[in-house]
Amino acid sequence: MGKRIYGFITLISIFLAVLLSTSVVSAQSCDEIKCEDEGDQLSCIKQKKSCWEDKILQTQQSQVTLTNTISILSGQISIQQLQIQQTLAEIVQLEKEIGELSERIFGLNISLDRLSSILVKRVGEQYKRTQIDPIFLLFKGSSLNNFLSEYKYIKLAKKQTLNAMQRAESQRLLYDEQKSLKEEKQTQVETKKIQLVQQQARLQQQRADQQYLLSETKNNESRFQEELAKTLQELQAIQSIIAGQGNESEVGEITQGETIASIIAGPSACSTGTHLHFEVVKDNSHQNPTGYLSQTDIIWSNQPDDPFSFSGSWNWPVFDAARITQGYGMSWYARVIRAYGGSPHTGIDLVSKTNSDSRVRAVKSGTLFRGSVACGKGLLRYVRIKHKEGDINTYYLHINY
């Protein structure tokens, strides 16, 4: 019995060792692909990119941890660096082809000029001969043989002139074709150069994302998991609220601009700190609030994300609007940390510019509902306004009423 257990443990140990060594080889294999052969550089870069993409996909399918998130970011940075190398290689290749086309066009231009000169000369000679009547040649010649020789020469000259015309036309068509091809390649180079600038900017953003992640989490896995759990729980709570599963009670009719709640100070259920989470839902579908809220002077606290604009006409849900802490869609938390399970952030997070003013107001008139839903170890409080106009509801989360 002891031998069987020992043999089983040994077998498992060998299996794990093979599995682990395979993972290490898989992880290292991308860096081991060397793209040094200029003739096959583009193909090699694409192979290396594919390797990194597979590695990232495998990591994304595993548990969301700080280590895995950093690994994904590192992989994305490697892919972006390879993309830049690929674009540079494509630019070099295109510029080489443009150089070769320029030489070919130059040669064709000389050839075309020479053919044109020959053709002008032959056409002139041909014109002179066509003015001579063959009967005149017959009487002019000293013999019939001379006449036949002269007549054959005229026919040959006509044929040579026709051949010269055909060659000239062929050269002209080839010249035009090569010139068009060169212009097409030049356009491709300009497009690639624009892509290169965009790719370099993207690389800088990815490096900034990675740096920001390390500074925010301080390489602390437990802190990372704690914040991740709260955002995932918040997402589930929002989905429950939108699905009508929150515990709600109708308050009554309210008017635009009326105070309806106050923002909770500090952390609360599924919230790491003071903020209002504002959502717009139309026909049971999340909408980007930037299309509804009016443009105003914003204080941006959503780093490392960029500022964005507003194009609507609604009043803001806070007084002295506003300081934005997170935008709608694939924000840094959504795309880098995968804080919402790979899904986008479905609203915007904000507070008043005046931190002491925690009042929340209705963006439009409608029917007010107060509600709560289980979130983590607590209750997430919210209010909802069913608008009078259209099938629109607005939600205000992390509040007191």
pLDDT in 10s for each residue of the chain, 401 residues:
444 433 433 433 433 343 333 333 344 578 788 887 766 778 888 888 888 888 888 887 777 788 888 888 888 899 899 999 999 999 999 999 998 888 877 777 776 666 666 666 655 555 555 555 555 545 555 555 554 555 565 566 566 666 666 676 677 777 788 888 999 999 999 999 999 999 999 899 888 888 888 887 777 888 788 778 888 888 899 999 998 899 999 999 999 999 999 999 999 998 889 999 999 999 989 999 999 999 999 999 998 899 999 999 999 999 999 999 999 999 988 888 888 888 899 999 999 998 789 999 999 999 999 999 999 889 999 999 999 988 999 999 999 99
pLDDT in tens, 119-138: 666 555 555 555 555 555 45
pTM: 0.59
Provide the 10 A C-beta neighbour count for residue 299. 15
CA 58 remoteness from chain centre? 21
- Cα gap 361→328, rounded to integer Å: 20
* Strand (E) or helix (H) holding 288: none
- Cα gap 329→344, rounded to integer Å: 4
Range list of β-strands (E), 284-362: 285-287, 299-300, 323-326, 348-351, 359-361
372, 374, 252: which is closest to 383 by C-alpha?
A: 372
- Residues in a beta bridge with 253: 367
Q: Domains in the chain and their CATH numbers?
A: 33-219 (1.10.287), 227-400 (no CATH)
Q: Where does residue 31 rank: exposed (0-12), middle (13-18), buried (19+ CB within 10 A)?
A: exposed
What Cα–Cα distance (Å) separates residue 333 from each residue in 50, 75, 163, 199? 26, 18, 73, 21
